[in-house]
Amino acid sequence: MHTTELPTEGTDPVVTPALDHLYTKAILDLTEGPVIVELPEVEKERYFSIQIMD
């Protein structure tokens, strides 16, 4: 689920979304085994983070 527009208050389930960030969310099915997540190259002057939860 990749957002293409910036969130506004009340449009995202995140309690306090950063209003100048785009978000991508994914649910991965690992019942068949591990999954490889490939990320695009990120420019040095950009902020990028990934969070993985079980």
Q: Six-digit token pair at 47?
A: 């902020």
Q: What is the pLDDT of residue 22?
A: 74
Cβ atoms of residues 18 and 49 within 8 Å: no
Task: Tell me the pLDDT of the chain (54 aa) as tens digits.
Answer: 666 677 677 666 666 667 777 777 888 899 999 999 888 888 888 888 888 887
CA neighbor of 24 nearest in space, from 10, 37, 43, 9: 37
- Tokens 């293409």, residue? 4
Residues 6+ apart with CB under 8 A from 26: 1, 37
- State if pTM tops 0.75: no
Residues 6+ apart with CB under 8 A from 22: 2, 3, 4, 5, 6
Q: What is the pLDDT of residue 29?
A: 92
